[in-house]
Amino acid sequence: MTNQTNSTIDPDTTDKLGSTDNSDFYGLDNLAAVVIVAGGESKRMGSAKAQLSLPSNERLLDYHVRHASQLGVPIMIADNERGFTVDQALLLDPSTAPLLHIKDYRPTIETADSKPAGALAAIASAMQVLTELGGNRALSANESQASSTPEWLMVLSCDSLITATDLWQVLQPVLTRNTAKAKAQNLSPDDSQKQSVICLADADIPYPLLGVYHLAVYPELINYLDRGERRVIKFIEPLYELLPLPLEWQQLANLNTPDDFKTACAQLSF
C-alpha cells in the first residue's frame, strides 16, 4: 500500500522559478523531471558530496542544478532532509527550471532495525510527487510541456560530475526508440516495463543513479520498499537496459574519495 501519511514535498523549500529555453535538446516531451540524489553518506569523501567545492568555486549541487536547468523540466533535490540549499544567484536566474526539495519516501513498515531506504526512497518520492501532481504539468513553467504527459524521470546524483544535459544526449535516442517500439507493437504494461529503466554501465556494472526510470514502475517500487527491500540493483535488474558508459566519463562517474574528485575536476579543466 502506498504511504500517504506525509507529503513528500518540503513546503519550506519549494520555489516556483522561471522557464528556460530547451530547444537544443530533442525528445524532452518524454521527460517529466530530474531528481538529484544528494543525501547519501560520504564517509570516504570526508564531507557531503553535494557541498563539495569545484575549482570554479561552485558547489557540486549547484553545478548539477545549473546544468539540469537547461533541460527545462522541473528539478527535485532529494537530500534526505539535510537542508542543502541552492545558490541564491541560481534561484533568481529566470532561466533556472522549477525547483523543489523533496523528502524521502518512508516505507509503511519501519522498525528500529530498519535500514535507511537510500536512493530508492528518493526516486520513489520524486515519482510520488509527479503522480500526485499529474506528471510535470503542475510544476512546469513551460506551456508546451505543461500540456503533455511525460513518462520518464531522470535520476542523477552528487556521486558524479556527469551533467544532466550530457546524460540526456546519451539516453534520449534509446528512450525514444523504446517508446516508439512499445506504441507500435501495442505492448502490454508488463512487457513494456521490461526496459523501464535505462542506465549507464561500466563492464556490465550498472550505474542506477545515471539513468531514466519510467513512472509506471512507481507502484512496484513502493511495494518493494514497503517489504523492507533496499538494494537498488536487485530492484532494477529485471527492468533495466544498460548502455555503455562513454570512455571519457569513466573518471567522472563514481566519486568516492577526495582523490577521485580531484581527478574528475582535472579532467573537466575547470
In whole angstroms, what is the distance from residue 151 CA to residue 31 CA? 6
pLDDT for 5 equals 34
Each residue's pLDDT tens digit, 42-63 = 788 988 999 999 999 999 999 9
**β-bridge partners, 163:** none
CATH of domain 9-268: 3.90.550.10
Q: What is the pLDDT of residue 60?
A: 96
Structural contact between residues 39 and 63, judged by C-beta atoms closer than 8 angstroms: no
Higher pLDDT, 24 or 184: 184
Residue 139: predicted pLDDT: 55
Q: Does 23 score more than 50 pLDDT?
A: yes
Q: Quick one: pLDDT at residue 8?
A: 53
Q: Residue 1 has what pLDDT?
A: 36
| Residues 225-238, mean pLDDT to the nearest whole number | 93
Calpha distance 73→149 (Å, rounded):
12
- Distance CA(118)–CA(114), nearest Å, equals 11
Which range among 11-25, 80-94, 96-110 has the greatest average pLDDT? 80-94
Residue reference for cell 528539478: 75
Quick one: pLDDT at residue 103?
93
**Cβ pair 245, 199 in contact under 8 A:** no
Higher pLDDT, 205 or 154: 154
Q: What's the mean pLDDT in 121-148?
A: 71
Q: What's the chain's average pLDDT?
A: 83
- Kindly tell me if the per-residue pLDDT of 16 is higher than 70: no
Q: What are the boundaries of each domain within the chain?
A: 9-268
